[in-house]
């Protein structure tokens, strides 16, 4: 399960998504996440899903990696969908004691599950096609107006990127520690919930030690290179919008207009 987590991993390439400006990719990620939660009917929902699939195809990252990124959250998706199944209104389709399932409950369950899945896929497109350095530059440039309010924008962007970058590193370290503990005879898969939690203690302690050691080494490396924050720093690669970025912006404006019209004209899938 741990090896299935792909959050924070970057896959180099020369696809259209790789060549896009990281600021545009970050803004479009937020843009489509908002739209997927604003979709009120199956037409707008399906249109947003198609756009997400188009982004996946344009990224030229193997589809199995996107499927792999969904595995860790399948339990959350299933649990959320089942929970929303019992909160529908209208005439009951099935009733057993206090458990009531309605048509709206089924539709609401489907919509919630699809929204979570698309959210993860859209976020994966961003992380798969954007390096941590590019992501840092994008966050810093987008939040630059906050510097007028004395907000440490560069430090904030750096912390976010380092945290995202070290997710796969810590997961890899966890796998190594678990393999080492199993080789020493540790049993982490049998027994009840309490026993499994206790079995994780020999994993968590060395993991915390390793994480603090890595953080200390990183801080030492940054200090030895005279890192003093974003003041006076210049960029080796200045971010500039290209033809691909302007085309993406134009298409998204057209899509937003069509989305609003369809959302108004077509009745919502869930009637309250």
- One digit per residue, pLDDT tens: the chain, 272 residues? 445 555 557 788 888 888 898 889 999 999 999 999 888 888 898 998 999 999 999 988 888 888 888 887 888 888 888 887 777 666 666 666 666 777 777 888 888 888 889 988 898 888 888 887 788 788 888 888 887 787 788 778 778 777 777 777 787 788 888 888 778 777 766 766 677 777 777 788 888 888 888 888 888 888 888 777 666 666 667 778 888 899 999 999 999 999 999 888 888 766 55
- pTM for this predicted structure: 0.74
pLDDT at 269: 67
In angstroms, the CA 3 to CA 16 distance is: 28
Would strands 92-96 and 99-102 be described as parallel, antiparallel, or unpaired? antiparallel
Strands (E), the chain: 92-96, 99-102
In angstroms, the CA 163 to CA 8 distance is: 9
- Other CB atoms within 10 Å distance of the CB of residue 36: 23
| Tokens describing residue 208 | 């915390």
Q: Which residues of 227-245 are buried (b: 16+ CB within 10 A; e: fewer)?
A: eeebeeeeeeeeeeeeeeb
Query: If DSSP codes are grouped into helix, strand and coil, which group holds residue 95?
Result: strand
In angstroms, the CA 143 to CA 140 distance is: 5
CA 198: distance to chain centroid? 30
Strands (E), 132-197: none
Nearest CA to 229 among 145, 147, 168, 142? 147
Please answer whether residues 229 and 152 qualify as being in contact, where contact means their C-beta atoms are separated by less than 8 angstroms: yes
In angstroms, the CA 9 to CA 239 distance is: 22
| Tokens describing residue 249 | 């912006």
Residue identified by tokens 């996946």 is 56
In angstroms, the CA 53 to CA 144 distance is: 32
């Amino acid at each position: 399960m741990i090896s299935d987590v792909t959050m924070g991993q970057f896959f180099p390439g020369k696809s259209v998504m790789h060549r896009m400006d990281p600021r545009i990719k970050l803004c479009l990620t937020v843009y489509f996440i908002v739209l997927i939660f604003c979709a009120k009917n199956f037409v707008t929902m399906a249109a947003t899903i198609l756009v997400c699939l188009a982004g996946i195809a344009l990224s030229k990252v193997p589809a199995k990696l996107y499927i792999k990124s969904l595995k860790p959250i399948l339990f959350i998706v299933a649990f959320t969908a089942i929970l929303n199944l019992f909160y529908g209104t209208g005439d009951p389709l099935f009733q057993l004691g206090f458990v009531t399932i309605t048509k709206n409950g089924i539709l609401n369950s489907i919509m919630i599950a699809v929204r979570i899945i698309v959210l993860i896929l859209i976020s994966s497109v961003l992380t798969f096609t954007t390096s941590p350095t590019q992501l840092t530059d994008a966050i810093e440039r987008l939040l630059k107006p906050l510097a007028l309010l004395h907000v440490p924008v560069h430090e904030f962007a750096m912390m976010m990127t380092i945290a995202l970058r070290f997710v796969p590193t810590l997961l890899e370290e966890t796998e190594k520690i678990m393999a080492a503990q199993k080789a020493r005879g540790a049993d982490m898969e049998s027994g009840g919930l309490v026993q499994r939690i206790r079995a994780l203690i020999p994993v968590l302690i060395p993991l915390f030690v390793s994480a603090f050691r890595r953080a200390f080494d990183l801080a030492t490396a940054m200090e030895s290179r005279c890192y003093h924050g974003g003041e006076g720093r210049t960029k080796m690669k200045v971010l500039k919008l290209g033809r691909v970025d302007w085309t993406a912006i134009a298409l998204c404006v057209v899509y937003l207009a069509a989305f609003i019209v369809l959302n108004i004209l077509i009745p919502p899938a869930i009637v309250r």
